[in-house]
Amino acid sequence: MSDPETIEIIEACRRGDREAFRALYEAHKDKVYSIALYFFHGDPAAASDATQQVFLKLITNIKSFRGDSEFSTWLHRLVVNTCLDGSRKSKSRERSEDPVDLVRIVDPTSQDEDMARRQVASRVQAALSSLPPKLRMPILLRYFEELSYAEMAETLQCSAGTVASRLNQGHKLLAQKLERLRR
């Protein structure tokens, strides 16, 4: 069950209160965009489109939120579905060759270290982006959104065992793709 303030805002949304929709948007836009940005290989245009689609779906489907689970779980489900739908639609489009850095370097001690860190971050982002969506999404939800296995299972509509299996497969593929970084 969601917290009382969120329930109140959702009820106001169901009544068509624009300020309540604005409050939900402001509270969740950055997380939605962040998940979409990583899912779409650092493509800000695709992430923005997905974010807009998520909130359009939220506005049109808010009445279907029954409160059986946390609102955040329901919203994550909207994000997952939107990203997967967008991924299917964009299979024919070219993927971005300019991945977003995973880490922002603060006060690097040297330009060489800064460059090396950016190269590693770029390779990790590229490896993560190359994973199939069914393996990429659990990793994003676990490590970027810090969801529990139970929350991920509910969001992805699968068992906790399936989540664990997909994370394991994703970890193994990432390890293979990043093997040369260890040398």
Number of CB atoms found within 10 A of residue 28's CB: 20
Domains of the chain: 4-89 (1.10.1740.10), 111-181 (1.10.10.10)
CB 130 within 8 A of CB 41: no
The tens digit of pLDDT for each residue in 49-84 reads 999 999 999 988 888 888 778 888 889 999 998 988
* pLDDT tens track for 133-156: 899 999 988 888 888 999 999 989
Is residue 2 within 8 Å of 10, Cβ to Cβ? yes
- Tell me: pLDDT of 92 over 80: no
Distance, CA of 37 to CA of 1 (rounded, Å): 28
Residue 96's pLDDT is 42
How sure is the predictor about 91, in pLDDT bands with cuts at 50, 70 and 90?
low
Q: Are 143 and 124 in contact (CB under 8 A)?
A: no
- From residue 8, alpha-carbon distances to 27, 55, 80 in Å are 14, 18, 25
Say if CB 75 and CB 28 are below 8 A apart: yes
Query: Beta-carbon neighbour count of residue 112 at 10 Å?
Result: 9
> 61 and 104 in contact (C-beta within 8 Å)?
no
